[in-house]
Amino acid sequence: MRTQAFKASVLTLFPEMFPGPLGASLAGKALARKIWSLEVHDIRDSAYDRHRTVDDTPAGGGPGMVMRADVLAAAIDRASSPEDTRPRLLMSPRGEPLTQQLVKEFAAGPGLVIICGRFEGVDERVIAKRALKELSLGDFVLSGGEPAAIALLDAVVRLLPGVMGDKASALEESFEEGLLEHSHYTRPKSFEGEDIPEVLLSGDHKAIARYKREAAEALTRSRRPDLWKAYEQAAKRRKD
């Protein structure tokens, strides 16, 4: 059982972007109820000169700028002590893909320290020296790590105990069993000539569960063959 609130520390060049969407809806209500806490650190506060410089030209040449190792390391040290057990994450397009399994692991922990990269990237030495785990939302590039950090925290916070009213909601979501979520329907019964599948109105819980499973499998097979292949392999391992 969790004994203290989940603590998120975000390091950014744009602190005004937080809490942003995290201050509304489920995450915002949970923040107000102190189920989780959010600290936002301006990386520029750790700069060494009066211009608050955080970047410099890339060694070896090339376009753009690179975030300095010394400045970023100082910012990390201010936000997270050596005894801090929270994972240190760097939001980066070259990072490990974020998955629902990782989200669940993060939600079960004490919190996260999230570094929002900018410019062309971050000096490799601070990544190694401060044991940063690079994490990506997908194969695309954002202008900075802030939107990715917001998406990550939204995914994690909703899984914290007491945030979602219906625990069953999380059990039927996409990726929970390696499948995409089945399609949903509600009133009216008929919409532009298409009716809600009769089985969903039958009251037969076993038939409904079977329909949802088959629908999720069909959707995953057609839209995400990569997930479907992994799901089939996992099913084979369980059978064996």
> What integer pLDDT is reported at residue 50 of this predicted model?
94
> What integer pLDDT is reported at residue 158 of this predicted model?
97
Task: Give the chain's residues under pLDDT 50.
Answer: 168
> What integer pLDDT is reported at residue 166 of this predicted model?
60
> What integer pLDDT is reported at residue 113 of this predicted model?
98
> What integer pLDDT is reported at residue 103 of this predicted model?
98
Nearest one of 71, 79, 76 to 39, comparing CA atoms? 79
For the chain, domains (ranges, CATH) are 6-157 (3.40.1280.10), 172-239 (1.10.1270.20)
> What integer pLDDT is reported at residue 167 of this predicted model?
61
Tokens of 142: 């954002």
Nearest one of 39, 18, 27 to 163, comparing CA atoms? 27
- The pTM assigned to this predicted structure is 0.90
> What integer pLDDT is reported at residue 173 of this predicted model?
63
